[in-house]
Structures are given as structure tokens and as C-alpha cells.
Amino acid sequence: MALLEPIAFLVLTAVSVWFFSKKVAIIRRNILLGREESLNDQPGRRLKNMLLLALGQKKMFNNPLVALLHLWVYAGFIIINIEIVEIIIDGLTGSHRILFPVLPSLYPYLINSFEILALLVLIACVIFFIRRNFLQIKRFISNDLAGWPRTDANLILITEIVLMSLFLLMNASDTLLQQRAVGHYADQLTGNFLISSTLHGWLEPLSDQALIVTERASWWLHIIGIFAFLNYLPYSKHLHIVLAFPNTYFARLQPAGKMENMPSIQQEVLYAMQPELAPTDAAAPPTRFGARDVMDLSWKNLMDAYSCTECGRCSAACPARQTGKLLSPRKIMMDTRDRLEEVGQQMDRNGNRQDDGKSLLHTYISTEELMACTTCNACVEACPVSINPLDIILQLRRNLVMEESKTPAEWAALFSNVENNFAPWKFSPDDRDNWTRST
């Protein structure tokens, strides 16, 4: 029996890490289906962005109260997981609180700090659960989150609450067993811990054997829950915990609102205006103007899609959305991720990419959504992890205009004026300066 638990723990750890690594490799493969894009300049500025936005959560503090609650959850997730190191060592060696003899003076302070954070995480998650489900906040009741996305968010919060509760219950039953000098628990007299000791009154009526079962069950359920959460992470919006760091590091550094020109389009326009510059050999025409499917987007666009927290701040800031238009920047990112996952699953089944008759444009994202965008950049400014829905919208819209000639009537008139008069207005270039002579 003494050997059975370490073996079971080793198998559990190996299986969990293997499944997690396999899914991470698939996500990496999917992201790299995108076009090449060089984003390696100014490493110092990029590192600063990552520290401020991903680690420091700078944009979250636009709403200080929510930011503080989120910081509790974030800090708890990072710091409390240090305690998992001890759990893993104990699980693999069959020991109990192996770090206590190594750090006898520091150990109680560490566990007490973990418990305070656990309580703060528990409180924050309960508040977030109530906020999401009962306060009728517009961005949380939006149709964007209908079905699985809303369930996903609630499942994460419930899991966090359960994990923190198990951690406190484990410590409470452990320290009570120490006080009763039961078995090996008497060998590690850590003393009571600040938060979990308040549960002693509830546990006191339990027999020694029931208390051992409670401690062992809490220990096993806690670590199984952590491994389950680890493997759930790549399938959930909570993946932003990991991807927020590379996503903020590789964010575009040009001034906000600056649109990227497409070299292929620039070249075609240049040749139309100056035919003598066109190559005489039979050069292959560009394969695509703009983007029609996820493979036409850059790897950074695809990383953006996987990094989306589904918080809805982008859609809440969108003026088109506020006026009742169909556009939702959050949905753009979710649709891009869903389509990319679909393409990846098809590749896993067939061994290669095959035309399935679907595309990101039209199948997932409609013309009406794209044409509603005012390119104001509000969605980009609002995102706490440097996601850029606008860039995806522009690339899809370019495909609509350049390849399908689908434009609103107002745009067609503007394009005609620019082509014929070199300005958006319908008058001759020769008359452009007449307004300066008006009385």
C-alpha cells in the first residue's frame, strides 16, 4: 500500500503532462499555419510591454475594483501553485510535507501566505460568478457567449472555488491530525495555519480515521483537480494565462490606428498607374488579396485568437456595437479561433489540409459584420492583452473589396472619385483649390 500511492501518482503525473504537451503542440502547429510576420524589433520595448500588460495587468486597472479582484485570482494562481512543488515531491516519494524539515522557520509563513491568497481567490471567484450570472452586465449576457463560452467561464470559476476549498480543508484536517498525534502526522508539527484553523470546529467531531480519509481525499482531489485544470486549460478561454505573455511581447509597436498596407496591392496599383514599371516576364499574380480563411492571416493574428479572454471589453468599447450593428470584435476573435480549431482537427483526421468548402469569411464572419467596422481602433485600445481584432477585420474586408467587389454604394462612389479625381470628392483636380478663393 505504501508503494501503491507513489506509483499511482507517477502514472497520473505522466499521463497529465503527456496530454497537456500533446495539445500544446497542436495549438503551436495551428498558430504556425498563419503567414510569416516579423515582430522581433525593439526587444526592450517589447519586454516592457509584456511586464506591464501581462504581468502587471496595466489595462485592467482602468476599473480598479475589478482589477484588484482579478489580481487576487492571478496572484493566487501563480503563487499558490508553488505549493504544488511540495505536493508533487510528496506524491512521488510517499513523504508528507517534505519541505517542512528543510524550512522549519519559514514553512508556516509560506503556508499562511498561501492560505490568505487562497481565501482571497475564493472570495474573488464567488464575486465574479455572481457578477457574471446575476448582475446582468451587458457584455456578459451578450449572445456572443451563448452556449459553451458562458459555461466555460462558469466552470473555470467553480473549479477555482473547489480547488481553493480543498486546499484549506486539506490543511485543516492535517493540522488537526497533528494535534491528535495520529500516525505519521505527529512527525511534522507545523502548528495551526491562519485560515484553515477556523475549520477545526467543523472537523473536531470526526474520528481519527474519518479525519485521515478527509485529509487524503482532499490531497488527492486537489492534485487531480490541478492536473485536470492543466489539461482543460488549452481547450478554454483560460489559455490566456499562458499566451498573454508572448502575445503582449509580440504586439505591433506602430502608432495606434496605423493601417498596414499590403505590398501585393501596392504593387498592382503601381503597375496600373505606371505600366512601364511592370515586369516583362510572366510573373505570377498574387494568390490572394486580403484574407479569406485563417491560413491567409498571420501567425500573430492566430495567436491573438487563442489569447482571447472573451472578456468583452473590445465589444463594449466598439461604437458600431453600441449603435446596434451586428459587429462584435469579441465574436471576430472567437470565430477565428473556432475556424482555426476546425482546420486543425481536419488536418489531424486527414493528415493534411483539404478544402472543406468553408472559410472564415462568409461561413463564420458575415459581410455585414465587417462593413460595420469604423476602424476607430477602440477594440484594440480596450484589450488587456494586446489583441488586435481590427487587423483581422481589415484583411477580411480587403478580400471582400479586392476579390469579390463587395462594397457599400457609398464606398463605390468614393473609390470612383479617388480613381478619377485623386480625391474622395466629385470634382476635377484642377478645381481643388477653388475653395481658397471663395469669399
Is 321 a member of any domain? yes
Residue 296 sits in the same domain as residue 188: no
Residues of the chain with pLDDT under 70: 1-2, 280-286, 435, 438-439
207 found inside a domain? yes
128 lies in the same domain as 199 = yes
Residue 147 is predicted with a pLDDT of: 86
Q: Which of 81, 84, 79, 114 is nearest to 99 (CA)?
A: 84
Partners of 361 in the beta sheet?
Answer: 365
Cell 515582430 sits on residue: 39
Residue 115, in any domain of the structure: yes
Whether residues 208 and 116 fall in one domain: yes
Asked if 229 and 325 sit in the same domain, the reply is no
Flag whether 232 is in a domain.
yes
Residues 6+ apart with CB under 8 A from 277: 270, 271
Q: What is the CATH number of the domain that holds 10?
A: 1.20.950
Q: Has residue 384 been placed in a domain? A: yes
> Considering only CA atoms, which of 230, 54, 87 is closest in space to residue 159?
230
pLDDT given for residue 335 in this prediction: 96
Domain contains 251: no
Number of domains in the chain: 2
Express each pLDDT in 322-352 by its tens digit. Answer: 999 999 999 999 999 999 999 999 999 888 8
Question: Which phi-psi region, left, alpha or beta, contains residue 391 (left: φ > 0; alpha: ψ -120 to 50)?
Answer: alpha
Cα separation, 327 vs 315, in Å, equals: 8
* Same domain? 27 vs 145: yes
Same domain, 302 and 176: no
- Please, are residues 209 and 199 in contact by the beta-carbon 8 Å criterion? no
Same domain, 235 and 329: no
Residues 359, 31, 308, 393: is their CA dihedral positive or negative?
Answer: negative
Residue spans of alpha helices (H) in 138-190: 138-141, 148-179
Torsion of CA 87, 93, 98, 99, to 10 degrees: -70
Cα–Cα distance for residue pair 299/407, rounded to 1 Å = 28
Within a domain: 154: yes
Question: Which CATH number is 365's domain given?
Answer: 1.10.1060
Does one domain contain both 315 and 400?
A: yes
Report the SS3 class of residue 3: coil
Q: Are residues 345 and 197 in the same domain?
A: no
- Domain match, 19 and 93 both: yes
User: How high is the pLDDT of residue 175?
Assistant: 92
Residue 85 is part of which domain span?
Answer: 4-31+63-239
Is the separation of the CB atoms in 404 and 370 below 8 Å? no
Residue 431 belongs to some domain of the structure: no
Q: Do 164 and 310 belong together in one domain?
A: no
Shared domain check, 295 and 203: no
